Amino acid sequence: MAPENFTGVTEFILTGVSDSPELQIPLFLVFLVLYVLTMAGNLGIITLTSVDSRLQTPMYFFLQHLAIINLGNSTVIAHKMLINFLVKKKTTSFYECATQLGGFLFFIVSEVMMLAVMTYDCYAAICNPLLYMVVVSRRLCLLLVSLTYLYGFCTAIVVSSCVFSMSYCSSNVINHFYCDNVPLLALSCSDTYLPETVIFVSAATNVVGSLIIVLVSYFNIALSILKIRSSEGRKKAFSTCVSHMMAVTIFYGTLLFMYVQPQSNHSLDTDKMASVFYTLVIPMLNPLIYSLRNKDVKSALQRFMTNQCYALKQCHLKLYR
């Protein structure tokens, strides 16, 4: 990542979501609302799972870290994106670009792994309900989360280093709204075989490996649910993982749309739309998916709001005594 590798290029220019001047303010407002909702939803999940004693279980421990990852992922992308809607010169320095790519890779890979970990948690809860707290112990939870972040960090370092070891000596215009590896490599005047191979192997390993864990876990979950005799029992078991199933389906559906399309049909403009979805829309949707269909989270939110209202009322009474 030494400066001499970047022959003749000192900064990149991001084209953004759209280059139409009349759309910049409307798009800024739309994405600002998306980001504010993402912040509110994920901070809400983090707060509730931290302060409510009834949510101190492995399921909500993993959900808390998914919310942290979603918050980090959207923040890494949104802050520069929102600024660029308001300025004419949409530039980013090499090291800012490298930092954004590294941060994005860290959070997106961590999210892939965290969803796989949460699927295993659903499997343990439904297939081994009596031994659930023994199988998914506090130590195992901490180990799985630590390995998830460590793996995400290592992937980000390796992939971003490969991308930024290339020479960039012609165009510096990135056809994207953030620094992503595919549009960056499209600008390189070096042989991109090695970084493209690293990116392909990494993406295939992460997506396919985690998807296998998800599919195998849900296959066993389905078998366990079918063995339950009572319809009420089957409904209760299914409700345990339905929110996670929705989140997993949306996330992997978007990733597969991006990476499984034929190279001849591959379009950077299509990538932009998919990227908007999994960097800004999915992090906004996840808190809604996990809270609207979850009685525990809704009850925790009611208790939290009641306690806050009571605390404000007591504070108000003390002020006017």
pLDDT tens-digit map of 34-53: 999 999 999 999 999 998 88
pLDDT in tens, 266-299: 566 677 888 888 889 999 999 888 886 677 777 7
SS3 14: strand
Q: Measured between alpha carbons, how far is 84 from 96 in angstroms, rounded to an integer? A: 14
In a domain, 304, yes or no: no
Judge whether 308 lies within some domain: no
Q: Determine the pLDDT at residue 3.
A: 44
| Predicted local confidence at residue 54, as pLDDT | 83
The stretch 234-252 carries a mean pLDDT of: 83
* Residue of higher predicted confidence among 282 and 170: 282
Looking at the domain assignment, is residue 119 inside a domain? Answer: yes
* CA atoms of 248 and 162, how far apart (whole Å): 29
* CATH number of the domain to which 203 belongs: 1.20.1070.10
Report yes or no on 189 lying in a domain. Answer: yes
Residue 262 clears pLDDT 70, i.e. is over it: no
Distance (Å, whole) CA 263 – CA 260 = 9
Query: Do 38 and 74 touch, CB atoms closer than 8 A?
Result: yes
> Residue 181 is encoded by which pair of tokens?
């590896």
Q: Quick one: pLDDT at residue 293?
A: 65
Decide if 319 is inside a domain: no
Q: Residue with structure tokens 């525990």?
A: 296
Residue 180 belongs to some domain of the structure = yes
Q: If you compute the radius of gyration of the chain from its CA atoms, what whole number of angstroms results?
A: 22
Q: How many domains does the chain have?
A: 1
Collapsing DSSP to helix, strand or coil, 177 comes out as: coil
Inform me whether the pLDDT recorded for 97 exceeds 50. yes
Domain assignment of residue 72, given as a range: 3-295
* pLDDT for residue 81 is more than 70: yes
Residue 320 lies inside a defined structural domain of this protein: no
**Assigned domain for 149 exists:** yes
Q: Is the pLDDT of residue 316 over 60?
A: no
**For the chain, first and last CA: distance in Å?**
64
Rounded to whole angstroms, how far apart are CA atoms 7 and 166? 10
Does the pLDDT value for residue 5 go beyond 50?
no
The angle subtended at Cα 255 by Cα 245 and Cα 58, nearest 5°, is: 40
Going edge to edge, which strands form the sheet with 11-14? 91-93, 11-14, 173-174
